[in-house]
């Protein structure tokens, strides 16, 4: 045989061998899923709930207009510290001052009238006492004269004279009593006028007081909304008065954040928090939950659900107030903030990455278990007993949560019970032991992998795409 024929035959044999090898490898890898894996490990786990909001003082007050008038003086500016009672601003007070002076004069006149009425009352009372004494004396003389006249010891004219004197004394006493009642009524009237004048004076003083605004609390002027020369109006019914300024007590600072409705059930008073403030990057401040809202608010509008009558499936939040333990100096109300609230903490618990959790229906797992039994390939799934199905539901559609454990190069589905959730890991309370190798990726593989499928572990870092940049 010629040499070139030998070379051709040898090359052909090599090609056939390579093709056969490729077919064999393809057959061996048929149905094999490439996955990434990790280990179930024990670690300390902290469950957190995040919320964003703004910095607010625990105590603050909005100073609103209480009367009408033009601003003539403003004694403070934004950022000034004030003490309770310090003057903030003044309004024009010519008319209120004149009203106070007029009412003071009216009150003085009423006091003088009371004194005069009291003097008249005392005089009338003394006159009544005098007239009563005269009546007692004249009455005694008349009674004696009447007895003497019956005994014919005095004349008829003398008897008539004494009788007339008694009647005159009785009439005079009646007049004195009437005058006493009149002076008493005048005294009461004068006292009523004085009370009325005093009430009007108090009203005038209150109007005058409302032309000078003082600080209701200790704090800092955090916002000033008016200028000298502007007019102030008071609130009426459902309309508030003119907004003048805000005074905030920055000695106790809070972070008021919104927490999603699905997380609010885990929030409790006293839970520790880590608070970050956008204006102070790189620093974390400690705090504790001091208030948990009970009313849901709509995420887009901020209105409480009780303020709207229309039914909505819009996402809702709850207000949570966190008091900072040691707030930094210079904080201002309204600064954006984020809080991480520690709702639970456990040490030395078995954990897996959250993306390792998979959900399969009981029907899928039972079919995989039956197929594995027929093929005699060993276990493909650890299946718990079915729960009692609710009336009208199909137990086959029950969803079971678990992880895929790599055993003998196969993915075995193991149902698990979970506990608290950390940032990237979740606690496994039942179904898994420390050190077991579990499937953690890829996302596509976890969605499509079937229990008992053969797997190939590839934990290499995925190559970057052409458009990706180095960090």
Predicted local distance difference test score (pLDDT) of residue 5: 58
- Are 360 and 343 within one domain? no
Q: Is the pLDDT of residue 351 over 70?
A: yes
**How far is 370 from 95, CA to CA, in rounded Å?**
97
The CATH number of the domain where 299 resides is what? 2.40.30.170
- Are 310 and 416 within one domain? no
What is the rounded (10 degree) CA torsion for 115, 116, 117, 123? 110
Q: Is the pLDDT of residue 21 over 60?
A: no
Cβ neighbours around 170 below 10 Å, total? 16
Predicted local distance difference test score (pLDDT) of residue 457: 87
Asked if residues 399 and 363 have their Cβ atoms less than 8 Å apart, the reply is no
Q: Is the pLDDT of residue 468 over 60?
A: no
Among 46, 50, 45, CA closest to 262: 50
- The whole-chain average pLDDT of the chain stands at 83
Q: Is the pLDDT of residue 148 over 80?
A: no
Predicted local distance difference test score (pLDDT) of residue 362: 84
- Please write the tens of the pLDDT for every residue from 355-396: 999 988 888 887 777 776 776 655 655 655 445 544 556 667
- Please write the tens of the pLDDT for every residue from 8-20: 656 666 555 555 5
- Are 203 and 298 within one domain? no
- Are 342 and 355 within one domain? no
Predicted local distance difference test score (pLDDT) of residue 121: 87
Q: Is residue 469 part of a domain?
A: no
Please identify, among 149, 183, 209, the residue that sits at the C-terminal boundary of a domain.
Answer: 209
**pTM (two decimals):** 0.64
Q: Is residue 371 part of a domain?
A: yes
Q: Is the pLDDT of residue 451 over 90?
A: no
* Count of domains forming the chain: 3
Predicted local distance difference test score (pLDDT) of residue 381: 59
Predicted local distance difference test score (pLDDT) of residue 469: 43
Asked if residues 450 and 404 have their Cβ atoms less than 8 Å apart, the reply is no
- Please write the tens of the pLDDT for every residue from 223-275: 999 999 999 988 876 777 889 999 999 889 999 999 999 899 999 999 999 99
Predicted local distance difference test score (pLDDT) of residue 170: 83
- Are 158 and 107 within one domain? yes
- Are 357 and 343 within one domain? no
- Please write the tens of the pLDDT for every residue from 42-92: 999 989 999 999 999 999 999 999 888 899 999 999 989 999 999 999 999
- Are 333 and 373 within one domain? no
Instruction: Calculate what percentage of the chain has a pLDDT beyond 90.
Output: 39
**How far is 249 from 251, CA to CA, in rounded Å?**
6
Q: Is 269 exposed, middle or buried (0-12, 13-18, 19+ CB in 10 A)?
A: exposed
Q: Is 360 exposed, middle or buried (0-12, 13-18, 19+ CB in 10 A)?
A: buried
| Structural domain boundaries enclosing 125 | 95-209
Q: Which residues are 345's β-sheet partners?
A: 46
* 320/441: higher pLDDT: 320
Quote the tokens at residue 471: 């960090």
Verify cis geometry, omega within 30 degrees of 0, for the bond prior to 442.
yes
Lowest mean pLDDT among 5-9, 130-134, 249-253, 463-467: 463-467
- Are 364 and 341 within one domain? no
Q: Is residue 266 part of a domain?
A: yes
Among 365, 355, 327, CA closest to 451: 365
- Are 99 and 202 within one domain? yes
- Are 324 and 366 within one domain? no
Asked if residues 194 and 110 have their Cβ atoms less than 8 Å apart, the reply is yes
- Are 119 and 178 within one domain? yes
What is the rounded (10 degree) CA torsion for 230, 235, 236, 240? 110
Q: Is residue 434 part of a domain?
A: yes
């Amino acid at each position: 045989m010629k040499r070139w024929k030998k070379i051709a035959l040898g090359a052909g044999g090599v090609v056939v061998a390579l093709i056969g090898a490729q077919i064999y490898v393809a057959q061996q890898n048929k149905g094999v899923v490439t996955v990434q894996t990790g280990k179930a490990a024990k670690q300390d786990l902290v469950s957190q709930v995040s919320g964003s909001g703004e910095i607010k003082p625990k105590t603050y007050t909005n100073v609103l207009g209480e009367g009408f008038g033009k601003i003539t003086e403003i004694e403070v500016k934004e950022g000034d510290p004030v003490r309770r009672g310090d003057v903030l601003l003044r309004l024009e007070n010519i008319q209120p001052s004149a009203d106070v002076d007029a009412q003071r004069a009216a009150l003085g006149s009423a006091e003088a009238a009371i004194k005069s009425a009291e003097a008249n009352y005392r005089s009338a009372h003394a006159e009544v006492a005098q007239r009563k004494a005269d009546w007692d004396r004249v009455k005694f003389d008349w009674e004696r004269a009447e007895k003497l006249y019956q005994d014919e010891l005095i004349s008829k004219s003398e008897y008539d004279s004494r009788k007339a004197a008694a009647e005159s004394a009785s009439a005079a006493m009646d007049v004195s009593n009437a005058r006493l009642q009149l002076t008493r009524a005048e005294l009461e009237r004068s006292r009523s006028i004085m009370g009325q004048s005093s009430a009007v004076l108090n009203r005038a003083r209150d109007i005058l007081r409302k032309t000078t605004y003082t600080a209701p609390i200790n704090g800092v002027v955090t916002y000033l909304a008016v200028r000298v020369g502007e007019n102030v109006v008071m609130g009426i019914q459902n309309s508030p008065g003119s907004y003048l300024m805000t005074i905030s007590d920055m000695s106790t600072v809070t972070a008021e954040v919104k927490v999603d409705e699905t997380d609010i059930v885990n929030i409790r008073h006293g839970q520790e928090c880590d608070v970050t403030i956008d204006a102070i990057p790189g620093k974390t401040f400690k705090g504790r939950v001091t208030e948990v809202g009970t009313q849901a608010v709509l995420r887009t509008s901020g209105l409480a659900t009780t303020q709207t009558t229309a039914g909505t499936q819009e996402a809702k939040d709850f207000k949570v107030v966190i008091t900072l333990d040691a707030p930094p100096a210079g904080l201002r109300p309204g600064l954006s903030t984020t809080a991480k609230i520690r709702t639970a903490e456990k040490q030395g618990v078995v954990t897996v990455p959250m993306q390792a959790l998979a959900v399969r229906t009981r029907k899928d797992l039972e079919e995989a278990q039956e197929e594995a039994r027929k093929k005699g390939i060993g276990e493909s799934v650890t299946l718990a007993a079915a729960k009692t199905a609710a009336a009208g539901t199909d137990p086959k559609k029950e969803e079971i949560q678990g992880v895929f454990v790599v055993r003998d190069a196969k993915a075995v589905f193991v149902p698990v019970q979970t506990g608290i959730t950390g940032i990237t890991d979740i606690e496994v309370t039942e179904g898994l032991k420390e050190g077991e190798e579990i499937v953690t990726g890829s996302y596509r593989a976890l969605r499509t992998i079937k229990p008992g499928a053969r797997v190939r572990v590839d934990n290499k870092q995925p190559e970057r795409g052409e458009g990706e940049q180095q960090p």
